[in-house]
Amino acid sequence: MTERIPVLKIGDVLLVSIQTDLEDQSVMNLQEDLAARIVETGAHGVVIDITALEIVDSFVGRMLATTAAISRMLDAETVLVGMRPAVAITLVELGLSLGGVRTALSLEKGLALLAGADPVRADRA
Amino acid sequence: MTAERRGSERLVDLLSGQEEKLVGQWIEGVSHTLRGRLSAGELGHELRELYAALVAALRSGEDWRAEAFSEVRALLTELSRNRARQGFTPTETATAVFALKDLLAPSSETAQEDITAYLRLNRLVDALGLFTVETYAKTREEIIGSQAEQLLELSTPVVKLWDGVVAVPLVGTLDSARTQVVMEKLLQTLVDTGSDQAIIDITGVPAVDTEVAQHLLKTVVAARLMGAECTISGIRPQIAQTIVALGIQFGDIVTKATLADALKHALRRLGTENPAVAARSAR
């Protein structure tokens, strides 16, 4: 049994902090858990913190993108925070630009982005 | 075999017979080509040592690759290395060796035996000369290699322009290795300083081809993945023309003509994201 990544709720936002390197199965579990929690809590924002993540392969990269897309379908803006330079370079080399996923340098900035996200979304629409 | 042996012995006799006079001539000939850029004492010491080693080696044969010639080769290696470092031309370096031939140059009165010895010396000196040039070239390549490395180290400063804005002024031609260094350094600085805005200034980049553009795009996308925005500035008119002519799509990446425009843009972006910063930068 692979360990589950906790999904924490802070006010209107769900926080997913990934602390270990991801296995394929745990990413798939995370996707299911997160979708269920968004519906359950009616959260309007999701922050995925990958500060501790040192290794990302193409599968995990793609799953992060689909997770963000799923959250958006459920009306929760997703922000990916704390990506390490090495991880960013790897993803670019893999040809994954995670289009449509919002990113921020740190958890704090990610939360600030979500707090001020509504006007931006209004702009886009 | 015996003729061969005799020729060899004759050559050694000729060289060792008038050693002082011949070495003197050699040194004089060589110092003439170097035009006083190397002190006479230094040159004399070098050549005297080489001459002695050569005569000693000749006693046991004429194959310059043989064990007996190892000291000659070592001295030549040192000589050409020094010349390469001091900035002498390959000709000046090789002449030092080739000048040996002139010492035994035959005249119409030279005995048949001596001419044979001279030709043998010729063949040997040619080989040694080539060896010298080869070592010279190798040394130059080493120097170029280490310089390229040094260039890589000092050519990529990441500067902080404002609270939350960092810039990389790129100077010189971009290749994969350099872009990699720039990319890593820029991304690391973004993390270290917590900056949201990055500016890549390419005023100092002489030419942008598809490869360079590709590298730039990758850097911008990587910065975006980390949650920072990246602006490319300093695009000169010719470069803009080339980029369009090559059909490179910069997509939604913000490009500005000057670093000042890019900074203005970055500050405005900071302001819309965070009103507190806007108030601070307005002051």
CATH no. for residue A36? Answer: 3.30.750.24
Q: Which of B47, B14, B12, B54 is nearest to B28 (CA)?
A: B47
The distance from CA A124 to its chain's CA centroid, rounded to whole angstroms, is 20
Query: Coil, strand or helix: which one is A23?
Result: coil
Query: B12 and B135, same structural domain?
Result: yes
Query: B238 and B131, same structural domain?
Result: no
Burial class of B149 by CB neighbour count within 10 A (0 to 12, 13 to 18, 19+): exposed
Query: Tokens representing B155?
Result: 């050519």
Question: What confidence score (pLDDT) does residue B280 get?
Answer: 53
Q: Which chain A positions have a beta carbon within 8 Å of B228's beta carbon? A: 103, 105
On the question of pLDDT at A94 being above 80, the answer is yes
* SS3 letters across B36-98: CCCCHHHHHHHHHHHHHHHHHHHCCCCCCCCHHHHHHHHHHHHHHHHHHHHCCCHHHHHHHHH
Provide the domain limits for residue B231: 159-282
pLDDT in tens, chain B (283 residues): 566 667 777 778 878 888 888 888 888 888 888 777 778 888 888 888 888 888 888 888 778 888 888 888 898 898 888 888 888 888 888 888 888 888 877 777 778 888 888 888 888 889 989 999 999 999 999 999 998 888 777 667 888 888 889 999 988 877 777 788 888 889 999 989 988 899 999 888 888 888 888 888 888 989 998 889 999 999 888 888 888 888 888 888 889 989 999 999 999 988 776 555 545 545 5
Query: B165 and B47, same structural domain?
Result: no
Query: Is A2 a member of any domain?
Result: no
pLDDT for A16-70, tens place per residue?
998 887 788 888 888 899 999 999 998 888 999 998 888 888 888 888 888 888 8
Q: How many structural domains compose chain A?
A: 1
Question: What confidence score (pLDDT) does residue B274 get?
Answer: 58
Q: Which of B59, B2, B49, B57 is nearest to B27 (CA)?
A: B49
Instruction: Determine which of A97, A111, A114, A124 to mutate to test the interface with B (most B C-beta atoms within 10 Å).
Output: A97
- Spatial strand order of the sheet with A7-10 comes to A7-10, A13-17, A45-49, A77-81, A102-104
Contact yes or no for A19/A51 (Cβ under 8 A): no
Residue type, A28: M
In B, minimum Cα distance to A107 occurs at B227
Query: B138 and B7, same structural domain?
Result: yes
Q: How many structural domains compose chain B?
A: 2
Query: B125 and B7, same structural domain?
Result: yes
On the question of pLDDT at A122 being above 60, the answer is no
Could you tell me the pLDDT band of residue A125, with boundaries at 50, 70 and 90? very low
Last residue of a domain, one of B150, B169, B195: B150
Query: B129 and B176, same structural domain?
Result: no
Average pLDDT over residues A10-14: 89
CA distances from B54 to A100, B101, B170 (A): 75, 13, 53
Query: B52 and B13, same structural domain?
Result: yes
Q: A103 vs B225: CB contact, 8 Å cut-off?
A: yes
Contact yes or no for B205/B171 (Cβ under 8 A): yes
Q: Which residues share a beta bridge with A14?
A: A9, A46
Query: B109 and B72, same structural domain?
Result: yes
Query: B136 and B180, same structural domain?
Result: no
Q: Which residues share a beta bridge with B254?
A: B231
Query: B76 and B16, same structural domain?
Result: yes
On the question of pLDDT at A95 being above 90, the answer is no
Question: What confidence score (pLDDT) does residue B151 get?
Answer: 76
Query: B251 and B181, same structural domain?
Result: yes
Beta strands of chain A (E only): which ranges?
7-10, 13-17, 45-49, 77-81, 102-104
Query: Is A1 a member of any domain?
Result: no
Q: In sequence order, what are the residues at sequence separation of 6 or more whose Cβ sits closer than 8 angstroms to the Cβ of residue B234? A: B169, B201, B202, B203, B204, B205, B256, B257, B258, B259, B262
Query: B12 and B43, same structural domain?
Result: yes
Q: Which CATH number fits the domain that encloses residue B198?
A: 3.30.750.24
Q: Which chain A positions have a beta carbon within 8 Å of B226's beta carbon? A: 83-85, 88, 103, 105
Last residue of a domain, one of B111, B130, B150: B150
Instruction: Choose among A92, A93, A105: nearest Cβ to B190.
Output: A105
Contact yes or no for B281/B271 (Cβ under 8 A): yes
Q: In sequence order, what are the residues at sequence separation of 6 or more whose Cβ sits closer than 8 angstroms to the Cβ of residue B249? A: none
The minimum CA-CA distance between A36 and chain B, rounded to whole Å, is 26
C-beta neighbour count of B247 within 10 angstroms: 7
Provide the domain limits for residue A20: 7-124
Query: Tokens representing A82?
Result: 């704390």
Last residue of a domain, one of B102, B128, B150: B150
Could you tell me the pLDDT band of residue A119, with boundaries at 50, 70 and 90? very low
